[in-house]
Amino acid sequence: MIPKELAKKIRYIQIYTSKAVNDVLAGEYHSVFKGQGMEFDEVRSYQPGDDIRTIDWNVTARTGHPYVKRYVEEREITVFFLVDLSGSGSFGSSGKIKNEIAAEFCALLAFSAIKNNDKVGLIIFTDTIELFIPPAKGTSHVLRLIRELLCFDSDKKRQSAGTDITLALDYLGRVMHKRGVVFLVSDFLDQGFEKQLGVLARRHDLIGVTVTDPREQTLPDVGLLEIQDAETGEIVIIDTGSKEVRSRYEQIADGRDRQLGTLFKSMGVDRIRLYTDRDYVLDLVKFFTQRMKK
């Protein structure tokens, strides 16, 4: 039985994301994510203007009249969400935590996918593979994905959970054989995943989705502040009253962000930036706009 509050949240996400799909993202998804090639449709009589390279010589020889092969775009694609729900995702300073933003973002794209008759799959990971849902179609399937994403923290009740992006990428590579679209959703607080990222980027259309909270980029001037690492449990005290400390904090955050951006660019991986204090629909529209210009 789904708790009443959770059911209400799922219903809200369904209504909000469906409205966004219909009002804002109606044609963008279809334009950005095309099929993986062309498939044979039929053989028909040759007509003036047809490309002679499409002539079916076997049928032409049997009938004594020229026939051509007709192809159509293979529209259906598989979309996979590889979602990091480790301990650091439980942080949020603007009303929503990072894991909530990740869940709602995936819901938005999942509804866009099924509207275009595409399949959607999900892998939830931390420092291990927590859940694998094979790709499928339909509204009920998408609602299940949303429920699993939103229920994860309360079901697991983990005190802390690390992040192993390499493990997640390797696992997806073993279960997803046909080329598709992969959204890697994480705050990327991990290291050493560069090699496996490159392997997956060569096989699939890989998009990195970074989820960030404003307090991970800048610190407020509030004096001594106790901070706990959600993944290791380590507690440190920071003097936010020090301008030098705040500046150093921003430099480290900016350097990490630039390094990740450089990595994505070097491997041809597109990037979507999400923030807990911003509307993710606008960020997705921005991504679609930029991608269609390529």
Please indicate, yes or no, whether residues 57 and 114 belong to a single structural domain of this protein.
no
167 contacts 128 by C-beta, under 8 angstroms: yes
Please indicate, yes or no, whether residues 115 and 167 belong to a single structural domain of this protein.
yes
| Domain C-terminal end among 52, 73, 94 | 73
**CATH number, position 272:** 3.40.50.410
Please indicate, yes or no, whether residues 253 and 288 belong to a single structural domain of this protein.
yes
98 contacts 89 by C-beta, under 8 angstroms: yes
Please indicate, yes or no, whether residues 231 and 217 belong to a single structural domain of this protein.
yes
Task: Please give the tally of structural domains in the chain.
Answer: 2
Residue 55: domain span? 38-73
The pTM of the full predicted model, rounded to 2 decimals, is 0.80
Tens of pLDDT along the chain (294 residues) come to 456 776 777 777 777 777 777 776 666 776 777 655 555 556 778 888 777 777 888 877 888 888 777 755 555 789 999 999 998 888 888 778 899 899 989 988 998 888 888 999 999 999 999 999 999 999 899 999 988 998 886 445 454 478 999 999 999 999 998 889 999 999 998 999 999 999 999 999 999 999 999 888 888 888 887 777 767 777 888 888 888 988 998 999 999 999 999 999 999 999 999 999 988 888 888 888 888 776
Please indicate, yes or no, whether residues 49 and 165 belong to a single structural domain of this protein.
no
Please indicate, yes or no, whether residues 280 and 231 belong to a single structural domain of this protein.
yes
46 contacts 67 by C-beta, under 8 angstroms: yes
